[in-house]
Amino acid sequence: MKSAVALAVLASSGITAAAPEKLHKRALASSAPFYPSPWMDPDAAGWQDAYAKAKEFVSQLTLLEKVNLTTGTGWESEQCVGTVGAIPRLGLSALCMQDSPVGVRGTDYNSVFPSGQLTAATFDRSLLYKRGLGMGQEAKGKGVTVLLGPVAGPLGRMPEGGRNWEGFSPDPVLTGIAIAETIKGVQDGGVVACAKHFIGNEQEHFRQTGEAQGYGFNITETLSSNIDDKTMHELYLWPFVDAVRAGVGSVMCSYQQLNNSYSCQNSKLLNELLKGELGFQGFVMSDWQAQHTGAASAVAGLDMSMPGDTVFNSGRSYWGTNLTAAVLNGTVPLWRVDDMAMRIMAAFFKVGMEVGKQEPINFSFWTSATFGFRNWVAQKNVEMINHHVDVRAEHALTIREVAAKGTVLLKNTGALPLKKPKFLVVVGEDAGGNPFGPNACSDRGCDNGTLAMGWGSGTANFPYLVTPDAGIQARALQDGSRYESVLSNYAWTQTSALVSQANATAIVFVNADSGEGYINVDGNEGDRKNLTLWKNGDDLIKNVSSICPNTIVVIHSTGPVLVTDWYNSTNITAILWAGLPGQESGNSIADVLYGAVSPGRTPFTWGATRESYGTDVLYEPNNGNDAPQQDFSEGVFIDYRHFDKANSSLIWEFGHGLSYTTFKYSNLQVAKSQAGPYTPTTGQTAPAPTLGNFSTDPNDYLFPNASFPYIFEYIYPYLNVSDLKKATDDADYGKSAKDFLPPGATDGSAQPLIKASGKSSPGGNPQLYDVMYTVTADIQNTGSVAGDEIPQLYVSLGGDNPKVVLRGFDRLSIQPGDTQQFKVDLTRRDLSNWDPATQDWVVNDNQKTVFVGSSSRKLLLNAALQ
Binding site for ligand NOJ (CB under 6 A): 81, 99, 148, 196, 287-288, 457
Least Cα distance to 230 among 647, 614, 605, 637 occurs for 637
CA distances from 548 to 439, 501, 552 (A): 34, 8, 10
The residue type at 360: P
Which letter does DSSP use for residue 861 in this model? E
Closest CA to 578 of 115, 229, 146, 236: 115
Q: Specify the DSSP element, H or E, that contains 512.
A: strand 504-512
Distances 140 to 54, 192, 367, 604 between C-alpha atoms, Å: 20, 9, 20, 32
Residue 133 contacts by C-beta under 8 Å, 6 or more apart in sequence?
185, 186, 188, 189
CA pair distance 18, 645, nearest whole angstrom: 35
Question: From the CB of residue 669, how many other CB atoms can be counted at a distance below 10 Å?
Answer: 13
What is the nearest approach in angstroms of ligand NOJ to the Cβ of residue 298? 21
Could you say which of 99, 108, 171, 287 is catalytic?
287
Residue 430 annotated to the active site: no
CB of 195 to ligand NOJ, least distance (A): 11
Backbone angles phi, psi at 42, to 5 degrees: -65, -20
Residue 459 CA to its chain's centroid (Å): 13
Q: How far is the CB of 113 from ligand NOJ (least distance, A)?
A: 16
Least separation, in Å, of the C-beta of 25 and ligand NOJ? 31
| Spatial CB neighbours of 131, under 8 Å, sequence gap ≥ 6 | 113, 114, 119, 182, 185, 398, 399, 402
- Rounded least distance, CB 188 to ligand NOJ, Å: 21
- Written as one letter, the residue type at 389 is V
Residue closer to ligand NOJ (CB basis): 81 or 344: 81
Provide the 8-state DSSP code for 735. Answer: B
> Cβ 235 to ligand NOJ, closest distance in Å?
21
Burial (CB count within 10 angstroms: exposed 0-12, middle 13-18, buried 19+), residue 332: buried
Q: Which residue, 294 or 517, has its beta carbon nearer to ligand NOJ?
A: 517
Contact 199, 134 (CB under 8 A): no
Work out how close the CB of 307 gets to ligand NOJ at its nearest, in angstroms, rounded to a whole number: 8
How many whole angstroms separate alpha carbon 258 and alpha carbon 225?
5
Nearer to ligand NOJ, 252 or 592 (CB): 252
Quote the DSSP letter at residue 752.
B
Q: Which is nearer to ligand NOJ, 289 or 551 (CB)?
A: 289
The values of phi and psi at residue 701, to 5°, are -120, 10
Concatenated DSSP letters for 513-575? --B-TT-EETTEESS-S-SSPSTTHHHHHHHHHHH-SSEEEEEEESS----TTTTT-TTEEEE
In this complex, which beta carbon is closest to ligand NOJ, that of residue 108 or of residue 234? 108
Buried-exposed string 350-387: b where 16+ CB fall within 10 A, e elsewhere = bbebebeebbebbbbbbebeeebbbbbbbeeeeeebbb
DSSP string covering 637-691 = --THHHHHHHT---SB-TT----SS-EEEEEEEEEE-----------BPPPPP--
- List CB contacts of 98: < 8 A, sequence separation 6 or more: 80, 81, 82, 104, 105, 106, 139, 142, 144, 146, 147, 148, 365
Beta carbon of residue 716, minimum distance to ligand NOJ (angstroms, whole number): 22
Q: What's the angle, vertex CA 244, arms to CA 225 and CA 459, rounded to 5?
A: 65
User: Closest separation between CB of residue 820 and ligand NOJ, Å?
Assistant: 39
Residue 455 DSSP symbol: B
Nearest approach, Cβ of residue 288 and ligand NOJ (Å): 4
Nearer to ligand NOJ, 148 or 826 (CB): 148
Task: Report angle CA 455, 458, 461 to the nearest 5 degrees.
Answer: 80
CA-to-CA distance for 461 and 365, rounded, in angstroms?
11
Q: Which is nearer to ligand NOJ, 147 or 552 (CB)?
A: 147
- Cβ-based nearer residue to ligand NOJ, 264 or 554: 264
Spatial separation of the C-alpha atoms in residues 442 and 318, rounded to whole Å: 30
| Residue in the shown chain whose Cβ atom is closest to ligand NOJ | 457
Least separation, in Å, of the C-beta of 196 and ligand NOJ? 6
d(CA 592, CA 578): 10
Nearer to ligand NOJ, 130 or 196 (CB): 196
Nearest distance in Å: CB 139, ligand NOJ: 13
Nearer to ligand NOJ, 252 or 424 (CB): 252
Q: Would you put residue 365 in left (φ > 0), alpha (ψ -120 to 50) or beta?
A: alpha
Name which of 147 and 298 has its Cβ closer to ligand NOJ. 147
For the CB of residue 274, give the shortest distance to ligand NOJ in the complex, in Å. 17
Of 333 and 456, which CB lies nearer to ligand NOJ in the complex structure?
456
Rounded distance between C-alpha atoms, residue 857 and residue 860, angstroms: 9
Contacts of 126 (CB under 8 A, 6+ apart): none
Q: Which is nearer to ligand NOJ, 99 or 591 (CB)?
A: 99
Please tell me whether residue 214 adopts helix, strand or coil conformation.
helix
Indicate the residue type of 47.
W
Maximum separation of any 2 CA atoms in the chain, in Å: 88
Is residue 503 classed exposed, middle or buried when 0-12, 13-18 and 19+ CB atoms within 10 A define those classes? exposed
Catalytic residues, by residue number, are 287
